Amino acid sequence: MANFEYIALDAKGEETTGVISASDEADAITQLRKGGLYPTQVATQGKGGVSGAAKRRAKKSAKSKSSAKGGGKVKSKTLMIFTRQLATLVDAGLPLLRGLTVLGNQERNKIMQSTIRSLADSVQSGSTFSEGLGQHPKIFDKLYVNMVKAGELGGVLELVLERLAEYQEKAQKLKNRIVAAMVYPIIVIVIAMAILVFLMAFIVPKFETIFAEMLAGRPLPGVTRVVIDISRAVQGSWYWILLGLVVVYAAWKVFASTGAGRVMIDRWMLHLPLLGPIQLKSAISRFTRTLGTLVTSGVPILQALNITRDTAGNLVVAKAIDKVHEAVREGESVVAPLEASKIFPPMVISMVDVGEETGQLPDMLLKIADVYDDEVDNAVEALTSLLEPIMIVFLALIVGTIVIALFLPMVDIIQGLQEGA
Q: Write the pLDDT tens digit of every residue in 128-156.
A: 888 888 888 888 888 788 878 877 877 77
pLDDT of residue 247: 94
Secondary-structure class of domain 58-168 per CATH: mainly alpha
- 180 versus 23: which is more confidently predicted? 23
Determine phi and psi for 301, rounding to 5 degrees: -60, -40
364 burial (CB, 10 Å; 0-12 / 13-18 / 19+) is: buried
Determine phi and psi for 50, rounding to 5 degrees: -70, -25
pLDDT of residue 66: 45
pLDDT of residue 294: 82
Element (H, E) at 336: helix 335-340
Q: Give the closest residue to 379 by CA, choosing from 229, 237, 248, 279.
A: 279
DSSP state of 196: H
CA 2 to chain centre: 52
The answer to whether 137 and 144 have CB atoms below 8 angstroms apart is: no
Indicate the pTM of the whole model. Answer: 0.63
List, for residues 191-218, the tens digit of each pLDDT value.
888 888 888 888 888 888 888 877 766 7
CA angle 355, 356, 362 (to 5 degrees): 55
391 burial (CB, 10 Å; 0-12 / 13-18 / 19+) is: middle
Spatial neighbors of 337 by CB under 8 A, at least 6 apart, are 320, 323, 324, 326, 327
Determine phi and psi for 73, rounding to 5 degrees: -85, 170
Determine phi and psi for 103, rounding to 5 degrees: -70, -35
As a whole number, the mean pLDDT across the chain is 81
Dist. CA 95–CA 158, nearest whole Å: 10
Secondary-structure class of domain 174-421 per CATH: mainly alpha
Find the mean pLDDT for residues 282-300.
Answer: 84
| DSSP-derived pairing of the beta strands 2-9 and 38-44 | antiparallel
pLDDT of residue 364: 92
List, for residues 39-69, the tens digit of each pLDDT value.
667 778 765 555 554 444 444 444 444 444 4
Find the mean pLDDT for residues 296-313.
Answer: 82
The answer to whether 18 and 53 have CB atoms below 8 angstroms apart is: no
Q: For residue 295, what pLDDT band results from cuts at 50, 70 and 90?
A: confident
Query: DSSP letters of 83-101?
Result: HHHHHHHHHTT--HHHHHH
Give long-range contacts, CB 8 A cutoff, 24+ apart: 128-136. Answer: 128/152, 129/96, 129/157, 135/65, 135/69, 136/68, 136/69
